[in-house]
Amino acid sequence: MSAPGFPEMTLTQTLLIAALQCIAVTAFVFVLVPLTTFAERKVLGYLQVRLGATRIASGLHGLTGGLNRGMWAMGKVPVLSFLRGLPFPIADVLKLFVKEDIVPDKADRLVFIIAPGLTMVASLAVFAVISFYPGVLFVFPHWVPILGGCPFAGTAADVNVGLLFVTSIASVGVYGIVLGGWASNSKFPLLGGLRSAAQIVSYEVPLTLSLLAPVVMAGSLNLRELARILAGLPLMDASGQLLTQIHPLQSIPLFIGFFIYLTCGFAETNRLPFDMPEAENELVAGFHTEYSAMRFAFFYLAEYTNMIVVSAMASTLFLGGHHLLPFGLQRVIPESWPILGTPNLLFFVGKIVFLLFVFIWVRGTLPRYRYDQIMAVAWKYLLPLSLVNLFLAALIRFAW
């Protein structure tokens, strides 16, 4: 597959670039996840009028103490103290590597070992189709040995059924949780797994229906095209003929759909206020009670990766993707404007970061729902609302 305007690539080049894209996307995730855990500590702290993580070692001695010492040497309350606690993610990862890996005697060994990997792979595989930038991100300069002159696309796999791929792969992730809960052979994980199954089955319905509304508007499943169409910009084919452009009124179903999707996304990623599967004060730690070390880390990573997936999908479909303005409002900015009118990688990443902040913000604000309330929210409110939203989108699409 070759981008238009570039020479046909050899098989080696194609494979190499695909590998590099995978590495780039994975690096993006694995950089963002530790930063999110750090941000979670700090933001939760600030929300509760605390300071969050401010030190990695209490004390003024030794290697880590030197950090504290230097900060405090600058004055009684140093300006840079915002950055203190930044080594926390590194300490986290080191701790998880060094810890003893325990498999319970009565556990179903094979399933117990597979489960975290399944969740992790499912959440990471989604990034293959997420479009970080439409078209070519950059071209390798000619002095690069094999890849000189080859384009590096902003999407790892620009497939036509991207959205379908995302929803189907993302729903595999729940198997990891259910299997992990079952294989642990213990009460609390089993309860957590069962709850997770029930909750995710319930929320999958309004989630998919809220994703269907943008698809109805745009008539496409390709995430790159969806991002452009749902930003309100016209999609042209190669000859410059208009294929699709959404009606200005479509901003209304997009706006409603965004909130439905976000609510369901919270439930899908098991975040507060929907963190039934791991409700700490009821189920110890829920499905990962028996997990330790890197297996636990996989579940932990998968939760944060899923948050990034939900943020990326929400920003692609509802917040204008790589364009500046959300909800199909990008049409008010002419495409000829230098920065504001053109797609930008930073807009996309910025929206992801903002949505991650919203995840933490909501966690710091709302208490956990009761189990029956969660089900009521899904079936009594979100499902009808998303159906109405879908109907509205279809009405606007076919009436005008």
Question: Rule CB under 8 A: which residues touch another protein?
Answer: 43, 45-51, 54, 58-60, 68, 72, 76-79, 81-82, 361-362, 364-366, 381, 385
**Reduced DSSP (H G I as helix, E B as strand, rest coil) percent helix, strand, coil of the chain, to 5:** 65, 5, 30
DSSP H or E segment with residue 210: helix 187-218
Residue closer to another protein (CB basis): 2 or 373: 373
Contact 136, 152 (CB under 8 A): yes
Residue closer to another protein (CB basis): 42 or 322: 42
Which distant-in-sequence residues (6+ apart) come within 8 Å of 136 by Cβ? Answer: 3, 6, 151, 152, 153, 154
Q: How far is the CB of 351 from another protein (least distance, A)?
A: 18
Q: How far is the CB of 319 from another protein (least distance, A)?
A: 18
Residue closer to another protein (CB basis): 156 or 377: 377
Q: How far is the CB of 333 from another protein (least distance, A)?
A: 27
Q: How far is the CB of 362 from another protein (least distance, A)?
A: 7
Residue closer to another protein (CB basis): 361 or 371: 361
Q: What 8-state DSSP symbol labels residue 50?
A: S
CA separation for the pair 394, 236 (Å, rounded): 22
Residue closer to another protein (CB basis): 199 or 263: 263
Residue closer to another protein (CB basis): 82 or 138: 82
Find, among 387, 366, 378, the residue nearest to 267 by Cα.
378
The beta strands (E) that lie in the chain are given as 131-139, 151-155, 235-236, 242-244
Q: How far is the CB of 344 from another protein (least distance, A)?
A: 25
Contact 205, 378 (CB under 8 A): yes
Q: How far is the CB of 252 from another protein (least distance, A)?
A: 14
